[in-house]
Structure 1
Amino acid sequence: MKFASYSVDGQGYYGAVTETGMIPLSPEFPQWPSLRDALVAGGLDTLSDAAAAREVAHGDVSFDMVLPDTTRILCVGVNFPDRNAEYKDGSDLPKHMSLFPRFASGFTGHDQPLVRPPESPQLDYEGEVAIVIGKAGRRIQAADAYGHIAALTICNEGTIRDWVRHAKFNVTQGKNWDNSGAMGPWIVPFTDAAQLDDARIITRVNGEVRQDDVLSRMMFPIREQIAYISTFMTLQPGDIIVTGTPTGAGARFDPPVFLAPGDVVEVEVNTIGTLRNPVKDET
């Protein structure tokens, strides 16, 4: 079962995704005003059961950022061996993972435009898998980490490249431009380790493959990410961890190839689906 946040005629809903349209579920569960509320309450199974007994009601919809009211998004940087080599600084593989925050306002939904701001032409793409925490925990052991995941989704962790260089140690301002990235199209409940262990990320720009790698090559696997992050902060249901992007972002081409209006970016993860977004200039 797949669940999405979406809008019809300006009205927001969440519901189950089918081949022919959406089954609205939010009107049936007023105790859970948002999809995140349902997830935090452990209600994904209840939503699945409800969807099985209902019919598609919405066909032409506008996808929203899949969990638009999420409060904590933490991203893992430089998490594939080839990504570390891209920096050409002669450094060994890092001992600890790099982390930075992103905010929900920086993400749009599936089929919605990524917005290039007038302050910079350096809008770039980063295809990634994102995990959504479903069970709280502190100092979680790596062996137990998968038990704390409720769902998976896809992230295009769009970045304004020159703005990540505005300060010596801080990339936050380059990572949080409004609608510069996307998350969705939906969440899928996490029920099987193979959903992560066998996952492959492919990012295409205008049909051309730019990124292609498997999660099993991560320097810091997702189990270790959960263990490390939960050492210094209590992970809570609804928290999102964006787990790292493979080599091949536009900034690493020679010369760099950034996104321009009219481009279309697709991030495909074989165990989740495909997140697609056009690019436009801010107006």
Structure 2
Amino acid sequence: MTRLATYSADGQEFYGAVTDTGMIALSPDFPQWPTLYDAIRAGGLQDLVTAAKDKPVTHSEFTYEMVLPNAPRILCVGVNFPDRNAEYKDGSTQPKYMSLFPRFASGFTGHDRPLIRPPENHTLDYEGEVAIVIGKTGRRIRAEDAYDHICALTLCNEGTIRDWVRHAKFNVTQGKNWDRSGSIGPWLVPFEKAEQLDEARIQTRVNGELRQDDYLKRMTFPIREEIAYISTFMTLQPGDIIVTGTPTGAGARFDPPRYLKPGDVVEIEVDGIGILRNGVEDEK
């Protein structure tokens, strides 16, 4: 399985291929694509996969960055698993259409980096999700054709400051975009077959305790439908990220709530993609 990541080493930022012993820097070989996002925009993901074959490791010491740190468009799907709507305890019926909201790259950090709890509010919560990366432009995409527009998969901890999603009546943007409150990574896995999504099981653990556990095929709005619906009103472009929805079991839904605190470790795992791990620290 080829894995492509953005990382820092020796005071510089690179993208490259992940191996069991370190990173293979690919960005120096592709100056026309300064970032992994640029490579995706140019349709060059397979070129990177090919270039990584038989190349030696260039960095054994490195730090993961958010996998597409300059992605300009990140769209998230909310309330998208069975029982998630009931978790809100507001008496509402299951919605006919999916809930959507934007997130910005500044709100995410990389694998093995801490999620940051701000001093203004301590209701930092986790949400384990699969994120898809668009690789082919499309508008009004049919659901049956939707997978043709995905180039890669990754994981997301869609960290949320819960109290701040209630500051306004109709939006959650301010609770969803605190700097480095969430993470995306560790890497991109090229999307090659439907089973990578249709058979995927997602699990979230906090300090080793299983909190979320479900299968993507149980989504209220499946990923094919997400792509079809979103592309109705906006042209999806290579490099766009769709964060597809979290199962029941986030910390806010416990009684009393179980929010994240400094020292906690959150792991999100999907077979065939990997494990996204983050600690928690207070903002300095």
Q: Which residue of 2 aligns with 1:41?
A: 42
Q: Which runs of 4+ in 1 moved over 4 A?
A: none
Q: Which residue of 2 aligns with 1:134?
A: 135
1:185-234 Cα offsets, whole Å, 9 max, x none, are 00001001000001111000000000000000000000000000000000
Instruction: Provide the C-alpha distance between the structure 1 equivalents of 2:49 and 2:173, rounded to a whole number of angstroms.
Output: 37
Q: Which residue of 1 aligns with 2:123?
A: 122
Q: Which residue of 2 aligns with 1:28?
A: 29
Instruction: Provide the C-alpha distance between the structure 1 equivalents of 2:11 and 2:207, rounded to a whole number of angstroms.
Output: 29
Instruction: Provide the C-alpha distance between the structure 2 equivalents of 1:90 and 1:215, rounded to a whole number of angstroms.
Output: 25
TM-score normalised according to structure 1 size: 0.99
Q: Secondary structure at the match of 1:153?
A: strand
Q: What's the CA shift for 1:9?
A: 2.4
Instruction: Provide the C-alpha distance between the structure 2 equivalents of 1:42 and 1:162, rounded to a whole number of angstroms.
Output: 40
Unaligned runs of 5+ in 1: none
Q: What's the CA shift for 1:48?
A: 1.1
Q: Secondary structure at the match of 2:38?
A: helix
TM-score normalised according to structure 2 size: 0.99
- Superposed counterparts of 1:1-283, under 5 Å: 1-283=2-284
Instruction: Provide the C-alpha distance between the structure 2 equivalents of 1:46 and 1:237, rounded to a whole number of angstroms.
Output: 15
Residue type matched to 1:147 in 2?
Answer: D
Residue type matched to 2:270 in 1?
Answer: V
CA RMSD of superposed structures (Å):
0.6
Q: What's the CA shift for 1:60?
A: 1.4
1:71-110 Cα offsets, whole Å, 9 max, x none, are 0000000000111111122322210000000000000000
Residue type matched to 1:132 in 2?
Answer: V
Instruction: Provide the C-alpha distance between the structure 1 equivalents of 2:61 and 2:209, rounded to a whole number of angstroms.
Output: 28
Determine what percentage of the aligned residue pairs are the same residue.
75
- 8 Å contact kept, 1:132–1:152: yes
Q: Secondary structure at the match of 2:83?
A: helix
Instruction: Provide the C-alpha distance between the structure 2 equivalents of 1:165 and 1:92, rounded to a whole number of angstroms.
Output: 20
- 8 Å contact kept, 1:81–1:93: no
Residue type matched to 1:232 in 2?
Answer: F
Instruction: Provide the C-alpha distance between the structure 1 equivalents of 2:5 and 2:116, rounded to a whole number of angstroms.
Output: 22
Unaligned runs of 5+ in 2: none
Instruction: Provide the C-alpha distance between the structure 2 equivalents of 1:96 and 1:46, rounded to a whole number of angstroms.
Output: 38
Aligned residues: 283
Instruction: Provide the C-alpha distance between the structure 2 equivalents of 1:87 and 1:198, rounded to a whole number of angstroms.
Output: 27
Residue type matched to 2:13 in 1?
Answer: G
